[in-house]
Structure 1
């Protein structure tokens, strides 16, 4: 996964089963020897294997060991839990309704915790359409409607992690050079290459191989559900500033722990050259 902008890394949303040419997207890849019969908009229902919780303030709205993920074409996976796993006393019925041509008519509830009211935070399909029957008796919560989500006892940010999204980090001796305006700002043969589902490879360089005197801390911080919290650096060269030219995960999640403290560069005006070939 490459450049994250503010708050949540948008590249975390570019491809899994349902996005970016995945097999359940509306336009699946052409490089297959099979076809998928059925509607262009596809639904896949799978059990989520761990306990999940959602908190509004100090109040637990949702606590479930029977959650499921709905994978839906062109959307991120959505978590659904049995209605019984929501705290009924926190729910206030809403007059709001919506219609989905693939799932049916949804009803909504607002959520109250003390003096706080979050309107239309929870929805359910009381009579789901044929082909989506497994939604009956279950409800979903907007991710941003609550203050914290937990996967078992680990807090997660941005969205629930997709089990089909993968990260691999490998050491590489390939010759990596980073330039800006014709000036070399980094050179390494001991970078880490990070491969992430459906995304371009990214090269993370050790600080010792970067001209860190040209970098200044940025106020930008982003969160990737798969790698963790990133902090950014702006590049200051003679008469030029490139904002948020590089980012770093100081304490990445286990899947990406090897890139801890390493720098990755991507911004307008930045050129990364690997073994003599400029990356697009």
Structure 2
């Protein structure tokens, strides 16, 4: 997902490689100004508000937003005395976050022993995403992690025939599925419900969400657990896949023009889970 997650160029499982005469270091960290106003709410109080956030991309992790100390409320951070060590960025000092009579321990951190080449993060603080009530870009809530500017989604029409089977049973057959291309993932094929035998889909609990597509519901198909999913009310930017269904080719048989689909190694989705305090109305 994006620059450093899933199979992005800085991720451990990247599918590409840099064309350089000598091998690059095993780990590459990338920091840049986010160039978006980002705010943090805790206990219904805005404790950080900045247009000077630095976004850190670390291999195998979601991007993390670091706020200048000057843009964080003076009383929001309480030193905990806890110091750990980051493998690349040195000593890490931890803080409790406090506002309006509520305190959460180890909810923020700051790199206090940075090497010279990482000085751009000096004096910056990051907040644990799920420990906060919400993060907002301007007035819109951002789910899961800071938005990755290198993440892209394209949705295309296709006339190829997609068929889904479980054993000898046809679950779906469509001559007009949509294909969704998303940074760091294999293409995903979405099928209109009119082309699906919905009697074979059994809704199950345990929603997850995508910061770019919205809340995701899942279905079991026979003994295949969570073998299909849908974004019933997909975000406006990707509403073409709203309430369509996609199928996991490693759990049921999915073919495209008669050719079985298989995910490449490393392209399984790593679910993020539900954001703290998230409900359907707020996510939509």
Instruction: State TM-score, norm by structure 2.
Output: 0.85
Q: Check whether the contact 1:93–1:110 (CA below 8 A) recurs between aligned residues.
A: yes
Identify the residue that residue 277 of structure 1 maps to in structure 2.
259
Identify the residue that residue 194 of structure 1 maps to in structure 2.
180
SS of the equivalent of 2:41 reads strand
2:203 alignment partner, one of 193, 208, 217: 217
CA distance in 1, matches of 2:23, 2:199: 57
CA distance in 2, matches of 1:136, 1:269: 47
1:248 alignment partner, one of 215, 218, 230: 230
Q: Check whether the contact 1:166–1:196 (CA below 8 A) recurs between aligned residues.
A: yes
CA distance in 2, matches of 1:273, 1:70: 39
Q: Check whether the contact 1:167–1:255 (CA below 8 A) recurs between aligned residues.
A: no
Say if 2:138 is the partner of 1:152.
Answer: yes
Q: Which runs of 5+ in 1 are unaligned?
A: 1-14
CA distance in 2, matches of 1:36, 1:255: 41
Structural mapping, 1:130-209, within 5 Å: 130-209=116-195
Q: Check whether the contact 1:242–1:269 (CA below 8 A) recurs between aligned residues.
A: yes
CA distance in 2, matches of 1:155, 1:55: 10
Instruction: State TM-score, norm by structure 1.
Output: 0.86
CA distance in 2, matches of 1:29, 1:137: 35
Identify the residue that residue 3 of structure 1 maps to in structure 2.
none
C-alpha displacement of 1:200: 1.0
1:41 alignment partner, one of 23, 27, 37: 27
RMSD (Å), alpha carbons: 2.1
C-alpha displacement of 1:27: 7.0
1:85 alignment partner, one of 65, 71, 81: 71
Runs of 4+ in 1 over 6 A off after TM superposition: none
CA distance in 1, matches of 2:106, 2:70: 18
**The structure with more strand, counted as a fraction of residues:** 1
